[in-house]
Structure formats: structure tokens, C-alpha cells
Amino acid sequence: PAPTSLPCLLDPLLQLDEERLFDLAKDRRIRLAAMSFHGLKRTRMDLLVNELAFMTEADTLAELGYALTLAEENLRSLGIFRACTLTLDAIPEARVTESRIPVALQVDVREARPLQYSFHVSTSPHTRKITLEGLLRLVNLFGRAEALKVSVSQDATRGVGQGVHAEYSAPRFWGR
């Protein structure tokens, strides 16, 4: 038989230790001591800090893990990020007090393009109608997760505009 490499033998043990460590630490009191943000270009940092403020209320690692899942879902639902990853990490240089273990939150994002558009042509053979529809969406223009949507539709066979619709929206944030 071929010899097994040492990393292959240790990997299950390391994973087991990680799980065992989480089991031991999940009920320990913790505090969110730091937040860092990477990938922000247009989005204002204070918007994200405000969005993630509820995470400071978590007292245990299990509660913070649940809050982390909610926060990630919330940030994705804003529609201003193509990718969003939240990571918790221990702060190695921080002092561990007897009551609470300090942890840090790292937020990595890739912002969506500010200009999104689509064009659609539809035909109806029964009515001999050709309809042209266009949608223009401007997202996160001022860094506050706002959106401006303009849509236009026109009957191409008659050359008559059927409708123009404009809408401005600011997202409804978590907890409000």
C-alpha cells in the first residue's frame, strides 16, 4: 500500500478539534470588539456600521453566529453588492477578560455596478404588435443604497409610447 501523507492523517483531527473548540466556546460570553470593511467604493461605511450594530447585542458565540447569518442575508438583500462575506475571528493580541472573549468582524464586499439595464422585444402574431421595453436602474448612486428605476415601453408598430415609469427607492433596513 502507498504511504499516507501526514497532512491527510492530521486533517480529520484538526477538523475535529475545530468542532470540539466551537462546542466548548459556543456558550462562553463574547463581545464584538472590532469591525473592518474591505471592498467599499461607493457605499458609505457608516451605512454598514449602522446595519451591523445589532450584532453587538450578542452575548455568546452561538448568538453571534446566528446574528452573522441574518446580517449577511440582509446585506445581500440590499441589492448593492455582487458578493458579500462576513467572517468572525478571534483577536489574538487582545486581552481575554474573565467574562468576555473579544472577537472581530471582517466584512468583504464586491459592489454591484451602479448602472444596470435591460432591453426586451416582444411580438404578438395575433394582433401583429411589436412592443419594445427598456429598463434602466441606477443603484447606490450616493453610497446610501438608494435605487432609481426608469422603464419605458412602446408599441413599435404604431410608433406610440405606451408608458414611462420612474421610481426612487431607499431600502428598508433590518430592525426598522
Global confidence as pTM: 0.67
Which tops the pLDDT comparison, 175 or 127? 127
Q: At what angle do helices 61-77 and 45-52 cross, to 10 degrees?
A: 130
| Contact in structure between 158 and 172 (CB atoms under 8 Å) | no
Query: In one letter, which amino acid is 46?
Result: D
**How far from the centroid of its chain's Cα atoms is residue 151's Cα?**
26
Query: Which pLDDT tens digit goes with each residue over 138-176?
Result: 888 888 888 888 988 887 776 666 788 899 887 655 444
Per residue in 134-155, is it b (16+ CB within 10 Å) or e — as a string?
eeebbbbeebebebeeeeebbe
| Contact in structure between 175 and 54 (CB atoms under 8 Å) | yes
Q: What angle do CA 23, 28, 31 make, to 5 degrees?
A: 125
Note the pLDDT of residue 65. 85
